[in-house]
Amino acid sequence: MESLSCLVLKPSPPTRLFFPPRIPQMALPGSTFVFPFSMDYQLPITTAKLALKPIRASTSAVPTTPSTTSTVTSSPTAASTKKVLVPIGFGTEEMEAVILVDVLRRAGAEVTVASVEPQLEVQASGGTKLVADTRISTCSDRVFDLVALPGGMPGSAQLRDCEILKKITSKQAEEKRLYGGISTAPAVTLLPWGLLKRKRTTCHPAFFDRLPTFWAVKSNIQVSGELTTSQGPGTSFLFALALVEQLFGESVAREIGELLFMHSADDKPRKEEFNKVDWAVSHTPRVLVPVANGSEEIEIVTIVDILRRAKVDVVVASVEKSVKILASQGVKIIADKLIGDAAGSIYDLIILPQGGVAGTERLQKSRILKKLLKEQDAAGRILGAVCSSPTVLHKHGLLKENKVTAHPSAITELSNPVDGPKVVIDGKLITSMGLATVSDFALAIVSKFFGHARARSVAEGLVFEYPRS
């Protein structure tokens, strides 16, 4: 029986972070961010503007990885696979952990998700249940090219109290290999370990005053030598791409950014609405998110996390025979219940996440889900779909003349597509391009249910820039 040196006490329920008054934005010289290489650099505070001009970093090519539709493939001169450790614990922020894993795996990294708890199953801060690949004790003798710590509370405290992880990360820093943390991790985990010394650092604004004053920097991303830090869930894509840049080089980071639709704010409108109707309800909104093997983990976790932050009652239901699903980039998620058990309730909104070819087909073939969708439409309740999933609604005859958007690979199958906006709302239908646009998608839902002020408040907690009006 393997030993565990992370003493784990029964923790209190996860804590969600609330955002203090917004930090003034810094001037941005042009429409893209530029990372100078081999020196301290930072990204100014422009949280929703996900345009990226990567740094001139290492020239190592991306190693060969199992083929998927959105993973960068290798060149003949590919270097050895880059190994990455992403530890998780009770109360880890799920958006930060999953976006890190997803983006790094798309780039070709071999990512190990390790639990610092006695069990592999970990409940994240927003209630999503993730299953780690292994326990942290199995990683103590391994060498990683990168150790990346997600934030969240009490997740960062759980990571801090794990002696094995402390030794791994301290050795990483001593040997000048890459390490980093996002959100609460720099202040709560890395600082007590002494790994921020003489390093310019950023973190979640609610914890900024814990950082050493002289070295603290109010920026989305801060790279100081081998250390990379970032602010929160809303900057997770930038954080992950900065790490991809350092591991694999500029061209890979740029290609991944394009695959994820990380456009500049001026490139595409945030949303467009047609046939405006009121979505407000007199009770706590209930939302169903059906998932399948192959569903896109970024979309599942981001939608669920943001809606739960807004106090929406979200049920994640598996269309498989088990509540455990294996998402498109290998993240293991445990649904709240099976679709058959969820079918007995009425939902104000049913959202279909994208699932690639396999995942989308599995959603489409579920007879229980098909019945639920048709009943939802007949009752005049709301439907939502992201990425390629609008095709499921189309094949079930539920789109009618509604205006929609979708992933570029799927939009040609739809009869009334709208080119341009990240999110399209038409009456009681909401669709999105998917991937990095799902934060806008979820916040648009919050705004429709509760109003703009609630959506903006949630966005601020995420450190995600959102319109004032």
| Residues annotated as catalytic (active site), given as ranges | 387
Spatial CA neighbour of 302 closest among 327, 322, 320, 267? 327
Give the largest CA-CA distance in the chain.
62
Which of 342, 345, 322 has its CA nearest to residue 334?
A: 322
Long-range contacts: 364-370, Cβ < 8 Å, 24+?
Answer: 364/391, 364/392, 364/395, 364/396, 366/290, 366/292, 366/319, 366/339, 368/319, 368/339, 368/340, 368/343, 369/290, 369/319, 369/339, 370/396
Provide the sign of the torsion angle of the four alpha carbons 248, 249, 254, 257, taken in this order: positive
106 in Cβ contact with 240 (< 8 Å): no
CA 191 to chain centre: 24
Taking CA atoms, 59 is separated from 155, 169, 249, 253, in Å, by: 35, 25, 6, 12
Distance of CA 319 to the CA centre of its chain: 22
C-alpha span between 204 and 208 (Å, rounded): 6
Q: What is the rounded distance in angstroms from the CA atom of residue 218 to the CA atom of residue 197?
A: 17
Q: Residue 79: in which H helix or E strand, if any?
A: none
Cβ pair 136, 341 in contact under 8 A: no
Distance CA 390, CA 394 (A): 6
Give the residue from 219, 214, 200, 181 showing the smallest Cα distance to 92. Answer: 181
